[in-house]
Amino acid sequence: MATPEFVFLDGKILPYADAKVGVMTHGLNYGTGIFGGIRGYWNDKEKQMFIFRPLDHYKRFLESGKLLRMELPYTKESLTQFTIDLIRKQGYKETVYIRPLAFYGDELIGVRLHNLTPKMAIAIVPFGRYIDSPGAHVTISSWRRVDDNIIPARGKVVGAYVNSALAKTDAQLAGFDEAIVLDQSGHVSEGSAENIIMMRNGVFVTPPITENILEGITRRTVLQLIQDELGMTVQERSIDRTELYLADEIFFVGSGVQIVPITKIDFRSIGSGVIGPNTKKIMDLYFEAVHGNLQKYRSWCVKVY
């Protein structure tokens, strides 16, 4: 993947090559940073780029910062405007991934969260599919999810993604597309970088936000679509590992992954082993919504041009 031509750094748009950090940077040494992942969707019919739910993403971003005692001189509105400016500057006319990142930029030795100064960057790159498979074969990871009292999973904390990377790499090197990670009590938490929703006996179920998951914007979006468009209910409750094996349908949701059906877990077919009918309906609705094609949900989409 090529690096972008320009980035946002501490209030200014700079050429990518000029946005540098030193090797002693706190965030690099101790993982004391937070980030986000947002998509901007190109709608070719309207010749328009829609950023999907940037205010919700930046609200969570600032909340992640709060968990690390970061005082950032930005609001969710100002960060959305900087994002629009940066897309316009590069003139993107294709679907992009937006990566905001804030980290303690002090170059010193000392593990802590106080008396430090954050830096804030945004980089934007063209981006296609994250999991390149129409139906994913996933494994239950032997790694456990970071706990709220270890590193809070509800914050998108840089250092915590070592947990995700351990799970993802072991899954991929073993031939799977992705990992599902359990929490300390053995209940289903989420994927390495996506939330999970299953349908069992005709009812949609997803782990609650107290089960060491990231409070996903796509999860929230899809739960609303299930209720409002399919007229079905969703239970937020703990999920046992073996319930997954017996589910009718399961899928991952996330800004990067978008919606990916899980058709096999550890060599066991889920439902009939192909994309389920409800998953298909939700995927269709989601893709229409994010491209700004559903009038009812147009307020989720922020225009760039």
Ligand X SMILES: Cc1ncc(COP(=O)(O)O)c(C=O)c1O
Catalytic positions, please?
156
CA end-to-end span of the chain = 25
CB of 224 to ligand X, least distance (A): 13
CB 38 within 8 A of CB 255: yes
193 binds ligand X (CB under 6 A): yes
Instruction: Say whether residue 155 binds ligand X (CB under 6 A).
Output: no
CA dihedral of 184, 189, 192, 193, whole degrees rounded to 10: -140
Stretch that binds ligand X, among 23-31, 104-112, 211-219, 282-290 (CB under 6 A): 211-219
Q: Is residue 135 at the binding interface for ligand X, with CB under 6 A as the rule?
A: no
Nearest residue (CB) to ligand X, 7 versus 146:
146
Indicate the residue among 218 and 278 with the shorter CB distance to ligand X.
Answer: 218
- Report the nearest approach of ligand X to the CB of residue 35 (Å): 8
Answer yes or no whether residue 261 interacts with ligand X by CB under 6 A. Answer: no
254 touches ligand X (CB under 6 A): yes
Q: Is 64 an interacting residue with respect to ligand X (CB under 6 A)? A: no
Neighbouring C-beta atoms of residue 195, cutoff 10 Å? 25
216 touching ligand X, by CB under 6 A: yes
Residue type, 217: I
Ranges within 221-250 binding ligand X (CB under 6 A) = none
Nearer to ligand X, 64 or 278 (CB): 64
Residue 195 touches ligand X, criterion: CB under 6 A: yes
Closest CB 82 distance from ligand X, rounded Å: 19
For ligand X, the binding residue among 217, 259, 265, 289 (CB under 6 A) is: 217
Q: Does 190 bind ligand X (CB under 6 A)?
A: yes
The residue (of 27 and 116) whose beta carbon lies closer to ligand X is 27
Q: What angle do CA 59, 156, 160 make, to 5 degrees?
A: 165
The answer to whether 290 and 41 are in contact (CB under 8 A) is: yes
Residue (190 or 249) nearer to ligand X, CB: 190
Specify the stretch interacting with ligand X by CB under 6 A; choose among 92-100, 115-123, 187-195, 241-249.
187-195
121, 179, 214, 290: which one binds ligand X (CB under 6 A): 214
List beta partners, residue 13.
Answer: 8
User: Rounded distance, CA 37 to CA 122, Å?
Assistant: 10
Residues 6+ apart with CB under 8 A from 44: none
**Interface with ligand X, residue 183, by CB under 6 A:** no
Q: Which is nearer to ligand X, 116 or 182 (CB)?
A: 182
Number of residues that bind ligand X (CB under 6 A): 14
- Shortest spacing between CB 287 and ligand X, in angstroms: 15
Is residue 100 part of the contact set for ligand X (CB under 6 A)?
no
The C-alpha atoms of residue 189 and residue 211 are separated, in whole angstroms, by: 6
Binding site for ligand X (CB under 6 A): 37, 164, 190, 193-195, 214, 216-219, 254-256
